Structure 1
Amino acid sequence: MPAVTLTPAGPFSLASGIRFLEGFGPASYHHAADGILRLAFPADDGVSVVAAAVRQEVRADGGTGTVRAEFTVHPGTPYPATAVTAEAAAKQAVRAQLARILSLDVDATGFPGLATDPVVAGLAADHPGLRPVCFHSPYEAATWAIIGNRIRMTQAAAIKARIAHQHGHRVHIAGQTLHAFPTPAALRTLTHVPGLTDIKIQRLHALAEAALDGTLDAPHLRALPADHALAELRTLPGIGPFSAELILIRGAGHPDVFPRHEPRVHKAVATAYGLGAPTTDDDVTQLAKIADRWKPYRSWVAFLLRARAQDTSPPGPVCHGSPPSS
């Protein structure tokens, strides 16, 4: 089985990422207690599906261990003996997507320097080595935004998991069977999904087309100024300001965007800094100024605040919280 190696720059804990996924509804992640992160997802090429078993080296000195991922690509075609270039290209593509999913494509050596802010220091102490665990792609983040709009997170997660089981590619990896979410080509063929309205299905079809034509390409979105990327995403059917931020931050893995349309983050920031509940645009602007202290990791600190809120939330279903989409 081919494998790729990722060397974290700065603190990173795969175990912390797995713990986060276990409590993150959209992931529907069920972890075996063996330290292996098992993933199955549509590849960035929009056609194939990747299955990966990710492990992190445990170092005796307590340092940040290297990450190794064994993977298969489906539908699989055995590499001919002379196809060195094709195999190398596949490894490069899988390595890039896995690095983005785990936020290992960002140099985090400067992140500990933010600990001069006592709030960030507390977050880092509570969640050592935790980096944002992103959606597998902007495409999957966008589909989640549509599926989850105006319904409870538990209901949305169940619908997404059912779509994967019924229409996605089934893979076997590290002793488990997983179902990847359908590729864009497969998604655009669906005409009826229990629990989804006709308009949501139409919007999912539009997102599938956008993924295939490159509109939802992660490197493209990351290369744009954040405001331009968000404006471009808002032109997609059903994608409003909240969803656009979700796609850019948690889909494309942008490390330095403060979410101006995420009320739960705003509440978490206000609580952490001893401020009153934010209720106006001016309040959000004040929070954004506080977030400027976190550059160039504003998305990361917001993620850690959400992770803390997730840890302290009472059990039970949680509303998805997306405002009405335009």
Structure 2
Amino acid sequence: MSVTLDGPDFVAPTVTAVSFAPAGPFSLAASSRFLECFTPASHQRAADELLRLAFPADDGTSVVAATVRQDPGTGGGPGMVRAECTVDPGAPAPAEAATAGAAADQVVRAQLARILSLDVDGTGFPALAADPVVAGLMADHPGLRPVCFHSPYEAAAWAVIGNRIRMTQAAAIKAGIARRHGPRVHLAGRTLHAFPTPAVLRTVRHVPGLTDVKIQRLHSLAEAALDGQLDAARLRALPADHALAELRALPGIGPFSAELVLIRGAGHPDVFPRHEPRVHRAVAAAYGLGAPAAADVARLADVADGWRPYRSWVATLLRVRAQDTPRTG
């Protein structure tokens, strides 16, 4: 793998390789197709079937560049997922530099697994096929698990950027922030721009297309990330209601955004989104409940109880189906 990270703030990168044996169905190809349709990712599938990722690490200062591939499956099971990664630790102090190499594998493994939902035991997921609706979703999207934002920090930043503007406009602004303030990564024949680390984002004073209020909120989120308030493991360890309440206390994060950060940022596998109308319409349609039922969140949550402990996963599949099905009327 050929990787180069440009920029004066990034020195002494560490190269590491990690692998994952998926527990339950998993398809990296399905993940790549999902990212193609996920506007914030701005992902373009490569002919070589490698998934290329560049992102700020959970430690708040490092940057990770990774190429990910999946071996062919054997015996009907999913193939091993393998990633070659470069971890650039930023500008560590001398005492930190000595341990950077040893920590790189752990940094990459945990975060990359979470991004691809490989940190969740999915062996029980096929049992949900007893529900004909879920069985149909699995058949339409075999091996698809939620592909998460790189971190709760990046999910929260997206929520602030995208508030009250079109998704395509928000994606262009987010990509512009990455180009101007994030590291440029040359990765296996392609150039990617990672979103800036929290330490960098809190110094940004002007972003074309963003109001001063939104920039101030991004600064607050960067500080929250550096303070550990957006730590994925901590958020997932909390009762979901408590985690959502904490997230709603952050500037610019409302009920919808809090769910986005917990489900698609921290990778929580078992939360039913109570503030995502498109999922609600999809549930009502899939279960033949009638259009008015889409406004009855309590009733929909009762339906979703049958998806435990993978409510986030099934909601994602319903969201993908809704995205693939043009609305009429």
The two structures have a TM-score, normalised by structure 1, of: 0.91
Q: Does 1:301 align with 2:317?
A: no
Task: Check the 8 A contact 2:19/2:81 in 1, yes or no.
Answer: yes
Q: What is the Cα deviation at residue 89 of structure 1?
A: 2.0
Q: Does 1:63 align with 2:88?
A: no
Question: Residue 311 of structure 2 aligns to which amino acid in structure 1?
Answer: R
Q: Secondary structure at the match of 1:40?
A: strand
Give a deviation string over 1:23-51, Cα, whole Å, max 9, x none.
11011111212111000000000001100
Q: Secondary structure at the match of 2:290?
A: coil
Counterpart residue number, 2:11: none
Q: Does 1:290 align with 2:303?
A: yes
Q: Secondary structure at the match of 2:272?
A: coil
Q: Does 1:116 align with 2:130?
A: yes
Q: Does 1:130 align with 2:182?
A: no
1:86, 1:38 → 2: CA distance?
A: 23
Q: Secondary structure at the match of 2:123?
A: coil
Picking from 150, 168, 176, the partner of 2:164 is: 150
Using the aligned pairs only, state the percent identity.
78
Q: Does 1:53 align with 2:67?
A: yes
1:280, 1:60 → 2: CA distance?
A: 41
1:272, 1:308 → 2: CA distance?
A: 10
Give a deviation string over 1:243-293, Cα, whole Å, max 9, x none.
000000000000000000111110111110011224786x11000000000
Task: Check the 8 A contact 1:267/1:278 in 2, yes or no.
Answer: no
Question: Residue 28 of structure 1 aligns to which amino acid in structure 2?
Answer: S
Counterpart residue number, 1:250: 264
The two structures have a TM-score, normalised by structure 2, of: 0.91
Give a deviation string over 1:110-152, Cα, whole Å, max 9, x none.
0000000000000000000000000000000000000001111
- Unaligned runs of 5+ residues in structure 2 are 1-14, 92-96
Cα 1:182–1:261 change in 2 (3 A) is: same
Q: Does 1:176 align with 2:228?
A: no
Aligned CA-pair RMSD? 1.9
Question: Residue 28 of structure 2 aligns to which amino acid in structure 1?
Answer: L
Question: Which portions of structure 1, spanning 4 or more consecutive aligned residues, are displaced by more than 4 angstroms?
Answer: 83-86, 278-281
Tell me the number of residue pairs that the alignment of Structure 1 and Structure 2 aligns: 310
Cα 1:46–1:167 change in 2 (3 A) is: same
Give a deviation string over 1:273-319, Cα, whole Å, max 9, x none.
011224786x11000000000000000000000111122247xxxxx
2:293, 2:283 → 1: CA distance?
A: 13
2:59, 2:51 → 1: CA distance?
A: 22
Q: Does 1:221 align with 2:232?
A: no
Q: Does 1:206 align with 2:237?
A: no
Question: Residue 304 of structure 2 aligns to which amino acid in structure 1?
Answer: A
2:223, 2:148 → 1: CA distance?
A: 22
Question: Residue 229 of structure 1 aligns to which amino acid in structure 2?
Answer: A
- Unaligned runs of 5+ residues in structure 1 are 78-82, 315-326
